[in-house]
């Protein structure tokens, strides 16, 4: 019996790419591949790319340059580029890096086995279509092997919002929702494999329409799954936070009190230029309603500074919004151009101004995050333990608020859900004692 072929996948970007990489590995598993964490041992290397961050494509070309040595050492090695950079660049990748054997977009990776067959026939393997067939149904079922206690589950892809800074509508396509029965089936399989917490994923997840009750209806269906203890979802758009979803935050015990709800800017002028289709006041009122439903909810957000046309007064509106709302976690970035998006053609804010604003915003956000963590000291939280601290001997998990929590104990196992009293806070984690 021949040795299995080895597959190395390097994943960039969001949680959805993590999920996609898992499914790519499953797809190629039917062709005899097993995963490896050593690229030098691989028979196939896949770069699952993200196009959101600055100079994403150039970074992938740089990474491909570093892989040339592996190809020289093993001429039979297959190298592929997948994900959103693959969708955006297409055949240009093979033109610039002829050593690349296959290019596959994020909606076509279920065709990887056929693409490998094409390579064996000496044909080009390029697929950046938006196929009509359901990639999730085409892929084989998830392996029944034991899994960790948390998992991602994609329920929705694509976006119809067309924010002026974003490439997602062009690389992931229009909004598409998976039927709820298929999601429930996959969730049940995950629970049978040991998963206790599922995070529902989508580029605009709260626009999910694969259930009559929208995302809230899906959450209530998942609430019935025996053995599933926790439900989360990301990433959301303020315009799609409907009444039912807000109510679910206050009434569904399995839905965790954590919400990632990007606003991007606190300036009405900038929000309009971004094509966000909401105002700062509408965002404030939405937060009030959500916190009325779930007062202890921890809020997370995304912010872009230095968007074309942003003045110092606009930036101060963002700082004011942050001070007013209060964020337990947040992600903040300098604006960077994305070719093909409307904002890329506009006059740009100077880089040193962007950097100064980013530092000031991040300082405020870090202060808020640390203050909220300090407020947790003395409270009891429920922690789902996920791993051992190899160097410290501690057990590490996540609270219902998504805080990392560590505890000095040998009395719990991975997958246990235990009450923990918080006794101290570090910069990015909490320390606690089992109750």
Tokens of 145: 């092997």
Query: Is 166 marked as a binding-site residue?
Result: yes
CA distances to 109, 185, 293 from 248, in Å: 34, 22, 8
**Strands 102-104, 125-127: pairing kind:** parallel
Whose tokens are 């019996």? That residue is 1
Query: Is 14 marked as a binding-site residue?
Result: yes
Contact call for residues 395 and 409 (beta carbons, < 8 A): yes
* Nearest C-alpha neighbor of 330 from the set 374, 368, 360: 368
Provide the 3-class DSSP secondary structure of residue 65: helix
User: Which H helix or E strand runs over 171?
Assistant: helix 168-171
| CA 195/CA 190 separation, integer angstroms | 5
Residue 119 DSSP symbol: H
Backbone angles phi, psi at 130, to 5 degrees: -110, 80
Contact call for residues 150 and 197 (beta carbons, < 8 A): yes
Contact call for residues 166 and 341 (beta carbons, < 8 A): yes
Provide the 3-class DSSP secondary structure of residue 302: strand
Residue 264 DSSP symbol: B
| CA 17/CA 13 separation, integer angstroms | 6
Contact call for residues 287 and 262 (beta carbons, < 8 A): no
Contact call for residues 433 and 405 (beta carbons, < 8 A): no
Query: Is 252 marked as a binding-site residue?
Result: no
Would you list which residues are annotated within the binding site for [4Fe-4S] cluster? 14, 50, 84, 159, 163, 166
Would you list which residues are annotated within the binding site? 14, 50, 84, 159, 163, 166
């Amino acid at each position: 019996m021949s040795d299995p072929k080895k597959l190395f996948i390097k994943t960039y970007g969001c949680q959805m790419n993590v999920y996609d990489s898992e499914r790519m590995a499953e797809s190629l598993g039917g062709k005899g591949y097993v995963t490896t964490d050593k690229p030098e041992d691989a028979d196939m290397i896949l770069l699952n790319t993200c196009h959101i961050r600055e100079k994403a494509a150039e970074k992938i070309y740089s990474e491909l340059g570093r892989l040339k040595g592996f190809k020289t050492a093993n001429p039979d090695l297959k190298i592929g580029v997948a994900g959103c950079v693959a969708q955006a660049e297409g055949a240009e990748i093979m033109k610039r890096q002829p050593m690349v054997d296959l290019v596959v977009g994020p909606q076509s990776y279920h065709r990887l086995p056929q693409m490998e067959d094409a390579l064996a026939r000496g044909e080009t393997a390029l697929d950046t279509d938006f196929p009509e067939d359901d990639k999730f149904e085409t892929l084989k079922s998830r392996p029944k092997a034991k899994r960790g206690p948390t998992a991602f589950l994609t329920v929705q892809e694509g976006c119809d919002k067309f924010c002026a800074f974003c490439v997602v509508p062009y690389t992931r396509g229009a909004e598409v929702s998976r039927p709820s029965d298929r999601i429930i089936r996959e969730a049940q399989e995950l629970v049978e494999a040991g998963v206790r917490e599922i995070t529902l994923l989508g580029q605009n997840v709260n626009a999910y329409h694969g259930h009559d009750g929208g995302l809230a209806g899906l959450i209530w269906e998942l609430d019935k799954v025996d053995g599933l203890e926790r439900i989360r979802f990301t990433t959301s758009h303020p315009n799609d936070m409907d009444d039912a979803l807000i109510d679910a935050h206050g009434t569904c015990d399995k839905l965790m009190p954590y919400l990632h709800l990007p606003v991007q800017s606190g300036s009405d002028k900038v929000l309009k230029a971004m094509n966000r289709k909401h105002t700062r006041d509408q965002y404030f009122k939405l937060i009030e309603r959500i916190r009325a439903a779930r007062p202890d909810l921890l809020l997370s957000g995304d912010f872009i500074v230095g968007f074309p046309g942003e003045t110092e007064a606009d930036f101060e509106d963002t700082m004011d919004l942050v001070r007013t709302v209060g964020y337990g976690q947040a992600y903040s970035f300098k604006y960077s151009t994305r070719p093909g998006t409307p904002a890329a053609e506009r006059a740009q804010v100077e880089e040193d101004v962007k950097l100064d604003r980013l530092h000031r915003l991040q300082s405020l956000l870090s202060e808020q995050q640390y203050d909220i963590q300090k407020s947790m000291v003395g409270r009891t939280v429920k922690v789902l333990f996920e791993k051992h601290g190899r160097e410290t001997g501690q057990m590490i998990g996540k609270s219902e608020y998504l805080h990392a929590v560590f505890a000095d104990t040998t009395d719990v196992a991975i997958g246990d859900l235990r009450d923990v009293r918080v006794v101290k806070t570090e910069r990015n984690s909490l320390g606690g004692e089992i109750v």
